[in-house]
Structure 1
Amino acid sequence: MKWIYLLLVLALVAGCNDEDELTPSEGEETFYKLPQGNHDYDSKIVDYHTKYGFYILYEFEKKDLFWNNMSWSEFLMDDKDFVYIATATGEIRGKQADPNYVGQVLDMCEKCCFKIYPEEYLKDYMPLRFLICSNLGKVYTVGTKYENGTTTIIRDTAKLNVYRSFNRLAVNWASTDYDTIKPNDKLYFSKDLNDAFMSILKENDVFEYDNGFTMTGHIYTYAQLQGENLFKRGFLTNTTLVNGNITQSRINDFMAFLNLATVPLDILNAEPVAIDRQDNNPSVVGLFSRVYADADDGRVDGKTGIDWIKQKYNFVIELLKKYGIDTDKLQHPEI
């Protein structure tokens, strides 16, 4: 993926004759100069690029964070100079890192992600840009307020650990926020970073569907499921079951459990959180601590939906070990 930009450059060169003058464009073929400074961590960043080909950047332009090939993801609507266009209606906020905290965040990334996967995965599938950021968040609307004939939209920003978009991963915490980071914050940082990278691996067909996953004996009869009813049937998301296609339903289920494998056990074993009955992707916080009666799948065999979930989860964990992934560090991040 990361070398698509090099191919674009080569194609541009091939299309020019000797008299043509090549000038840099504003496109995505930008390459970056390393090191960006002379801090202790800069040599490590250079080593990562030399070995795996991706750029870890803590100084970058706005386009490196917000340009998504066809749209601009930065939240701009509260900017007095904002002009509405269809490609600039984003909801992301973020800034460059505070250099004083880059080393700490890089250390988290190494322990929680980089050291977990085989080296070829980092080389082949890590996006070209890995941005270390501060103040990374997603803007959402809380409500509206009507006052003196004017309606004001009330917004807030939800802090993001990780933001994934066009050929980039961006991570947060490189600011004074790190001074108050807690072990639980690092658990969720690990969860979100590995979830993003696992999704990239899945999209690149790294993992082959294993028929052993279906040998759990789980029933895949189609039903419209939401909220806790998903867990009661042993599923994670309402996109799993496809009407009239059991094979695809099983594959969807397998893919969902690949992402569940990136969630630290301390999160899965925590106190369960409340779930809306219409939630299509219910929170897995406390999933393994939930208690239900027999699985709501038309049978009474002593197995609950959580039993099915744990059985499928354990199968996927063992499978990932065969791919060279350090699942112990996924389940128990070094924080």
Structure 2
Amino acid sequence: MKKIRFWSLILSLVLGLSGCYKEGALHASMENEKVYSEYDLPQGDHDYDKDILEMFKKYNTLFLYKYNPKDIYYNTDEYVNGTYFPEKDSTAAGLFDVPSDEAWVGKQVKLLQELWLDYYPEEFLRQQLPLKVFLVDSLYSAKSGYGSPVELLNNNYLVCRGVDYILVTYGSSRIDEMTKADKYEFKRVLHRVFLDYLDIPVTAEFAAIGNYTIFSNVNNKPYIYRYGFINWDNSSTPQRDWFSYIDAIVDHSYEEWISDGPSGFLHPSKDTQGKIREKYNLVIEFFKTNYQIDLQKISNDLSSYGE
């Protein structure tokens, strides 16, 4: 089979809260650019290599279990990976990756299809998936000091993103050891990182509802629900407010949204003015109308993994 060949872009990677995030992401366009990379498909002769090649044809995205570490660790103008010096038994702070075990990549790809890709229309994914999806076993950060990176572990990351890639973990035998809670967390982070990667601009209708001047005075924090905000720390601009709603919809089932609990943002005790419901409806309808995506279904289905 004729191999596919592309040239690579410079990547960007910055650590963030639910995985690795890059600040100031590019706005998603409706057309995937034809960008070239140094990677060839197929990368091996496993049965799943045929599936990965079919996924490339379908989505115009390279799912890669063999990769050059520089494509993960370059942060535009610096190299952000850590280094272990065995002769000194010391570690320089940074990121460390563990490549996928090729015996388990087939299961890893199927898991991504089930927990992530199946929730989006094929044409949407073809237009909006990044150029590359790196398949690894794990990604973690370590602090500087004497000892191995594992001994100096700082954070583990389930999912990571850069300018033109998303990195996903669980490419090893531990995929068979995932509990329902593990699947819940992995799925939740997958969708949050992907939707964050898209950086879809806030709509004018949504932005018009909020009074963002309240964030200039911390004394207004107890009244955020009254003004239609659900997160004091991440809602100070229309775009950040928009993302806080997208994140919360993916994170919490509709039952949670209407409950009298900490995530019951639509409950009358919190949504006293109806502004949260108004914003919620705008986000849900925007994704259904423009992309045929049911965001609430993603989080509703998540609840079954947490049992």
Contact 1:261 1:316 in 2 (8 A): no
State the identity %: 21
Greater gyration radius: 1
AA aligned to 2:294 is D
| Corresponding position: 1:133 with 2:136 | yes
Q: 1:96 to 1:330 in 2, by over 3 A?
A: same
Per the TM alignment, residue 254 of structure 1 is displaced from its structure 2 partner at its CA by 2.0
Question: 1:235 & 1:289 partners in 2: Cα distance?
Answer: 10
- TM-score, normalised by the number of residues in structure 1: 0.64
Residue deviations 1:69-97, cap 9 Å, x none?
Answer: 32222122x43589xxxxxx763221210
| Corresponding position: 1:201 with 2:198 | yes
Question: 1:263 & 1:288 partners in 2: Cα distance?
Answer: 10
AA aligned to 1:316 is V
Question: 2:255 & 2:159 partners in 1: Cα distance?
Answer: 17
Equivalent residue number for residue 332 of structure 1: 300
Equivalent residue number for residue 3 of structure 2: none
Per the TM alignment, residue 200 of structure 1 is displaced from its structure 2 partner at its CA by 2.1
Per the TM alignment, residue 235 of structure 1 is displaced from its structure 2 partner at its CA by 3.1
Q: Structure 2 matches for 1:118-157, cutoff 5 A?
A: 118-139=121-142, 155-157=152-154
Count of residues in Structure 1 that have an aligned counterpart in Structure 2: 265
| Corresponding position: 1:211 with 2:198 | no
Per the TM alignment, residue 60 of structure 1 is displaced from its structure 2 partner at its CA by 1.7
| Higher relative contact order (CA closer than 8 Å, sequence separation 6+) | 2
Structure 2 gaps, min length 5: 1-5, 11-34
Q: 1:130 to 1:96 in 2, by over 3 A?
A: same
RMSD: 4.1
| Corresponding position: 1:303 with 2:272 | yes
Q: Among residues 230, 235, 244, which one is paired with 1:240 in the alignment? A: 235
Question: 1:7 & 1:95 partners in 2: Cα distance?
Answer: 22
Q: Structure 2 matches for 1:1-335, cutoff 5 A?
A: 5=7, 30-76=37-83, 78-80=84-86, 91-139=94-142, 155-202=152-199, 206-207=200-201, 209-211=203-205, 214-215=208-209, 219-223=211-215, 224-225=217-218, 229=222, 234-241=229-236, 249-265=237-253, 287-289=262-264, 303=272, 309=276, 312-323=279-290, 324-333=292-301
Question: 2:136 & 2:230 partners in 1: Cα distance?
Answer: 35
AA aligned to 1:173 is Y
Per the TM alignment, residue 61 of structure 1 is displaced from its structure 2 partner at its CA by 2.4
Residue deviations 1:312-335, cap 9 Å, x none?
Answer: 334312321112113254223476
Question: 1:190 & 1:319 partners in 2: Cα distance?
Answer: 22
Question: 2:46 & 2:135 partners in 1: Cα distance?
Answer: 15
Q: 1:121 to 1:72 in 2, by over 3 A?
A: farther
SS of the residue aligned with 1:33?
coil
Structure 1 gaps, min length 5: 9-27, 83-88, 146-153, 242-248, 273-285, 296-301
State which drifts further: 33-42 or 53-62.
Answer: 33-42
Q: 1:120 to 1:200 in 2, by over 3 A?
A: farther
Contact 2:225 2:272 in 1 (8 A): no
Question: 1:7 & 1:257 partners in 2: Cα distance?
Answer: 32
SS of the residue aligned with 2:137?
strand
Residue deviations 1:211-255, cap 9 Å, x none?
Answer: 15645xx544423449x85865633243532xxxxxxx3343123
Per the TM alignment, residue 162 of structure 1 is displaced from its structure 2 partner at its CA by 0.2
State which drifts further: 114-123 or 185-194.
Answer: 114-123
Residue deviations 1:82-129, cap 9 Å, x none?
Answer: 9xxxxxx76322121012221222122112222222333322332222
AA aligned to 1:238 is D
SS of the residue aligned with 1:59?
coil
Q: 1:60 to 1:211 in 2, by over 3 A?
A: same
SS of the residue aligned with 2:263?
helix
AA aligned to 1:156 is L
Question: 2:59 & 2:86 partners in 1: Cα distance?
Answer: 42
AA aligned to 1:240 is S
Per the TM alignment, residue 179 of structure 1 is displaced from its structure 2 partner at its CA by 2.5
- TM-score, normalised by the number of residues in structure 2: 0.69
Question: 1:98 & 1:326 partners in 2: Cα distance?
Answer: 34
Residue deviations 1:180-239, cap 9 Å, x none?
Answer: 21112112212211112112222xxx4551415645xx544423449x858656332435
AA aligned to 2:190 is L
SS of the residue aligned with 2:152?
strand
State which drifts further: 259-268 or 65-74.
Answer: 259-268
